[in-house]
Structure 1
Amino acid sequence: MFKTLKNDLPASVVVFFVALPLCLGIALASGAPLFSGLIAGIIGGIVVGSLSGSKIGVSGPAAGLAAIVLTAIGTLGGYENFLVAVVLGGIIQLIFGFLKAGIIGYYFPSSVIKGMLTGIGIIIILKQIPHFFGYDADPEGDFAFIQVDGENTFSEILNTLNHIQIGSALIGIISLGILLLWGNVLSKKGKFFEIIQGPLVAVVVGIIFYTLTQSSDSLAIASTHLVSVPVPDSIDSFIGQFSFPNFAAITNPEVWVVAFTIALVASLETLLCVEATDKLDPDKNVTPTNRELLAQGTGNILSGLVGGLPITQVIVRSSANIQSGGKSKMSAIIHGFLLLISVILIPRLLNQIPLSVLAAILLIVGYKLAKPALFKKMYKLGWKQSVPFFVTVFGIVFTDLLVGIGLGMLVGIVVILLKSYQNSHFLHIEDNSNGKHKIKMELAEEVTFFNKGAILKELDSLPRDTYLEFDVTKTRYLDYDIIEILEDFAFKAKERNIDIKLISKRGIVENPPSFIEFFQLRPKSSISLS
């Protein structure tokens, strides 16, 4: 891991600046103590980062769980009772890992994963526009279409027009200029500009700007537009920020329901993120998904025990890590230590960072996830790829992450069924044979009950006085439902003066009296013809 430290250290700084406001914002959106988001970020970086098999994935509190957490804290009667569910959720995730449930992540279509990345990129851009201009009515990390403050994504942007804060907007624009200059020009000029990342420079400039403009009437940035890390007065007050689970609530059935919900949603989000980050990874590393579930489960147990929010692998932080050149898990681990050290030693300095500066960093991350060229590329791939992609993107933007992915998966399944229906057989019409229409029907490699409608329609449409060559030599699997259709057709063919020539690897039969007997099938069984 230390061989790539020159890449991982600068990347970890960028991930730290991306993670810091998100940890605080997600905690705020979840109705939890602000410090709980930082705990989850620290454990997600150090513990999960160490145990995970992912080289570039970064874990922490997830925006997708914010609504679940907010509701659960109320229904369970307090945050300490909710922490019991977090611990139990982690244990359930460990069970998922031992049961090899991580394989689920491999069954999501590529078009849906790309749609997920693009949708998240668009959401990041839309959600950061208000923060960029100094309008912070909605907390960072609230990625749902209907927001915590009751507005939706687009109405919040329109409201921004009436609440632009000049100082925040100005330093946001300056920071965005620094990031673009650094990424497109200076980073190619020498080693120094590769080691010192643009986001770090933008944050330093932001702190200097805030300090110099405090006395200005027009440019001063209010505290509500700055990072808001809890500042302890002493060691005792720092320790007092930790919360601990009330295990007396473990007998409450609702606690177990919340625990299973957290385990299922966190595991699904993690597996989707793993699949997405592996696609983004320029080195094409493959993450062991079962090990990832074990790492996430361990992280959630520890996070729940010391008062942290539930943890998942997070695409925003992971993509920022990849875009910044992270090569190994050291970047995730170091970002966790940076969070820990900074909240202990320099919380007051962190609280001088304008949120608009961090919004500028996230705007770059969002753009790289949702480049316009990708839309054109997906469109050119044809409707089988583009339709699930666009449905996923719009679903994520106008609902939330899991609903958007669910819609994309549903459309993807419909596409598969439609293509299966269309590709069940091939029909060739040849010259007349003995005064009869000669038609050759060749079945596909695998024919299941999905293909019943297409085959039945084709057989029923055959004209009288037809000579049918029915070829199953390439078919490896034939469902019993299809054989029943053939059995019924063989009976009706005599009435319509249709002769059947059955061609298979077992031989050629003219007008077989029974397809079931020919394939030597037991009742209600299917057949492998390979």
Structure 2
Amino acid sequence: MFKHLNKDIPASVVVFFVALPLCLGIALASGAPAFSGLIAGIIGGILVGAISDSQLGVSGPAAGLAVIVLGAIATLGFEQFLVAVVIGGVIQILLGVLKAGVIGYYFPSSVIKGMLAGIGIIIFLKQIPHAFGYDKDYEGDLDFFQADGENTFSELFNMIDYVSPGAIIVTLISLAILLLWENVLSSKHKIFTIIPGPLVAVVAGVIYYLVMQGSNLAIAEVHLVKVPVPESFKDFTTQFTFPDFGAISNIQVWITGITIAIVASLETLLCVEAADKLDPQKRVTPTNRELLAQGTGNIISGLIGGLPITQVIVRSSANVQSGAKTKISAILHGILLLISVVTIPVFLNKIPLAVLAAILLVVGYKLAKPSLFKHMYSLGKAQFIPFFITIIGIVFTDLLIGIGLGLAVGIITILLNSYKNSHFLHKEGFETNDNKFKMHLAEEVTFLNKGAINRELNNLPKGAYLELDVTKTKSLDYDIVEIFDEFAIRAKERNISIKLISERGVVENPNSYKEFFEKEKNQPLKN
């Protein structure tokens, strides 16, 4: 696990700089103390990272829970809300024990790829205002509609009146460093692979802020990272909040805990699938163990005043793109968060948000490259339509709704394909016009195929001769047998002859298909 430190350490630095403003921004959006977001980030990195078997996934506070958390804190108060976080963690552990992580394997690949592309587009769009010096919207907001009535696109127009020349310069410098570092310098000398480009960009941004103070191109403090700065060790310890377990009998606390467990588990399982898709080595994360890890993290986070934790795709994708090889990167990013907020919060508060915007612009672009759209389109409608619908849903609503829309379209696509592929029917004897038809049933035929088969049978002309071949059929639903039994009655009225061909032999005009298939399988057909 430690043999890839040369890759994992630089990646952990990048993830640290991405995670820092996200932890603070999500806490702000959740109506919680800023320190609670940092607690969740630290625990998500160190504790969850250590327990989890996800090699590239990174956990921390999630934007998808911000609305739930905001409403819960307003209703319950922060101390009682923390009890709900602990309850949510216990439920997640229970889900892991019950093997509920298998749900994560039922999301189509096209939907997961659509999720990655949709998140990439959102990251890119959401960082443009920060890159221009308009920081009204908090870091980590991934929803289209915002609490202040604005949306992703309206903020792009609003930023025009608040452009900061200093922020634009820092963004351009940072982008130049990041692109030069990755595309040119990293191949020139080993030192450029050891020192991460984003760290150099951050240092350059801090230097710019310090040097340009007082000039027309200065960056105002409102455009800097804002980490809580304790004046003493005692002041630091007072930032921890503990749950009020006297509220354990409050039904609203339990409802909130169950909600947190369900939403956090779904987001985690989705992000696990996405992170595994991004993994160059294509390792598979044990989802039940992931639920156990997330549950443990949420229990500890709730006990010391932290926000709920999930695996998060923004940090995970930044981790992958920075060259991480093992989960040591996620653990180290948590350690860096812990060390930095204890020892150097004053330095962190000199980092321009424009630098972090530049880092995330690169992350967003890599997730939603034009080549990905071209590749998905080349795979055909069955892959491209769920992919595209997922993207639209995520960009214009939120993560879970977008995934739900993509999944619904994926299921409809499966049903349509099942409708089409249950059988093969063709007409023979066109030259003699003898109305002879052959129908071959597929290996597995279920109730989903009722409509297609029924339609073909009803379209047979009067006096037709049908050869029904079931030699390759291994599984046949009772619903389909009923259709054939009902058709046998209509066939007599329409003078249609049927020849049933199976592995056991041939039957002309069977009176009961149910009896025939029971003999074929040597067992009764179950309804």
TM-score, normalised to structure 1, is 0.97
Contact 1:433 1:467 in 2 (8 A): no
1:511 aligns with 2:512: no
Letter in structure 2 aligned against 1:402: L
Cα displacement (A) at 1:485: 0.9
Cα displacement (A) at 1:506: 2.8
Alignment partner of 1:440 out of 438, 445, 468: 438
- The answer for the alignment partner of 2:243 in structure 1 is 245
**CA deviation digits over 1:258-280, x for unaligned, max 9?**
11111111111111111111110
Cα displacement (A) at 1:523: 8.4
Query: Partners of 2:309 and 2:373 in 1: how far apart?
Result: 31
Query: Partners of 1:45 and 1:334 in 2: how far apart?
Result: 7
Query: Partners of 1:44 and 1:518 in 2: how far apart?
Result: 60
Cα displacement (A) at 1:460: 0.8
Query: Partners of 1:506 and 1:113 in 2: how far apart?
Result: 45
Q: What does residue range 200-239 of structure 1 map to in structure 2 within 5 Å?
A: 200-216=199-215, 218-239=216-237
Query: Partners of 1:164 and 1:478 in 2: how far apart?
Result: 66
Letter in structure 1 aligned against 2:200: V
SS at match of 1:2: coil
Letter in structure 2 aligned against 1:196: I
- The answer for the alignment partner of 2:44 in structure 1 is 44
- The answer for the alignment partner of 1:72 in structure 2 is 72
Cα displacement (A) at 1:435: 7.7
Alignment partner of 2:371 out of 356, 373, 383: 373
Query: Partners of 1:135 and 1:524 in 2: how far apart?
Result: 68
- The answer for the alignment partner of 1:95 in structure 2 is 94
Contact 1:45 1:60 in 2 (8 A): yes
- The answer for the alignment partner of 1:428 in structure 2 is 426
Alignment partner of 1:280 out of 267, 278, 281: 278
Cα displacement (A) at 1:124: 0.3
1:525 aligns with 2:526: yes
Query: Partners of 1:445 and 1:73 in 2: how far apart?
Result: 55
SS at match of 1:228: coil
SS at match of 2:231: coil
Contact 1:119 1:393 in 2 (8 A): yes
- The answer for the alignment partner of 2:62 in structure 1 is 62
Query: Partners of 1:335 and 1:27 in 2: how far apart?
Result: 18
1:124 aligns with 2:134: no
1:398 aligns with 2:399: no
Query: Partners of 2:292 and 2:415 in 1: how far apart?
Result: 34
Contact 1:93 1:297 in 2 (8 A): yes
Query: Partners of 1:259 and 1:317 in 2: how far apart?
Result: 25
- When residues 381 and 434 of structure 1 are mapped into structure 2, their CA distance, relative to the original with a 3 A threshold, is closer
- The answer for the alignment partner of 1:479 in structure 2 is 477
**Number of residues paired by the alignment?**
524
Contact 2:518 2:525 in 1 (8 A): no
- When residues 434 and 177 of structure 1 are mapped into structure 2, their CA distance, relative to the original with a 3 A threshold, is closer
- The answer for the alignment partner of 1:180 in structure 2 is 179
TM-score, normalised to structure 2, is 0.98
**CA deviation digits over 1:362-381, x for unaligned, max 9?**
00110110101111111111
Letter in structure 2 aligned against 1:171: V
Cα displacement (A) at 1:432: 7.0
Query: Partners of 2:159 and 2:182 in 1: how far apart?
Result: 28
- The answer for the alignment partner of 1:29 in structure 2 is 29
**CA deviation digits over 1:79-110, x for unaligned, max 9?**
11110000000000000100011111111000
1:353 aligns with 2:354: no
Runs of 4+ in structure 1 over 3 Å off: 432-436, 521-524
Query: Partners of 2:509 and 2:469 in 1: how far apart?
Result: 13
Letter in structure 2 aligned against 1:100: K
Query: Partners of 2:236 and 2:219 in 1: how far apart?
Result: 27
1:500 aligns with 2:501: no
Residue ranges of structure 2 left out of the alignment (5+ in a row)? none
Contact 1:138 1:149 in 2 (8 A): no
- The answer for the alignment partner of 2:140 in structure 1 is 141
Letter in structure 1 aligned against 2:454: L
Query: Partners of 2:66 and 2:402 in 1: how far apart?
Result: 16
- When residues 433 and 222 of structure 1 are mapped into structure 2, their CA distance, relative to the original with a 3 A threshold, is closer
- The answer for the alignment partner of 1:258 in structure 2 is 256
1:271 aligns with 2:269: yes
1:457 aligns with 2:455: yes
Letter in structure 2 aligned against 1:107: Y
Q: Identity rate of aligned residues, in percent?
A: 70
SS at match of 1:378: helix
Cα displacement (A) at 1:504: 1.2
- The answer for the alignment partner of 1:109 in structure 2 is 108
Query: Partners of 1:74 and 1:118 in 2: how far apart?
Result: 34
Cα displacement (A) at 1:520: 2.7
Letter in structure 2 aligned against 1:97: G
Q: What does residue range 274-423 of structure 1 map to in structure 2 within 5 Å?
A: 274-423=272-421
- The answer for the alignment partner of 2:159 in structure 1 is 160
Letter in structure 2 aligned against 1:172: T
- When residues 523 and 278 of structure 1 are mapped into structure 2, their CA distance, relative to the original with a 3 A threshold, is same
Query: Partners of 1:281 and 1:232 in 2: how far apart?
Result: 39
**CA deviation digits over 1:202-253, x for unaligned, max 9?**
000111111111121x212111110000000111110000111111111111
Cα displacement (A) at 1:116: 0.2
SS at match of 2:466: strand
Contact 2:514 2:525 in 1 (8 A): no
SS at match of 1:54: coil
Cα displacement (A) at 1:433: 11
SS at match of 2:239: coil
Structure 1 residues 87-96 or 473-482, which shifts more? 473-482
- When residues 12 and 177 of structure 1 are mapped into structure 2, their CA distance, relative to the original with a 3 A threshold, is same
Query: Partners of 2:353 and 2:277 in 1: how far apart?
Result: 30
Alignment partner of 2:467 out of 450, 466, 469: 469
Structure 1 residues 504-513 or 360-369, which shifts more? 504-513
SS at match of 2:429: strand
- When residues 59 and 435 of structure 1 are mapped into structure 2, their CA distance, relative to the original with a 3 A threshold, is closer
Query: Partners of 2:435 and 2:500 in 1: how far apart?
Result: 16
Query: Partners of 2:333 and 2:304 in 1: how far apart?
Result: 19
Letter in structure 2 aligned against 1:55: Q
Residue ranges of structure 1 left out of the alignment (5+ in a row)? none
Cα displacement (A) at 1:507: 2.0
Backbone CA RMSD of aligned residues: 1.3
Contact 1:137 1:149 in 2 (8 A): no
Cα displacement (A) at 1:148: 2.9
**CA deviation digits over 1:92-135, x for unaligned, max 9?**
00001000111111110000000000000000000000111110
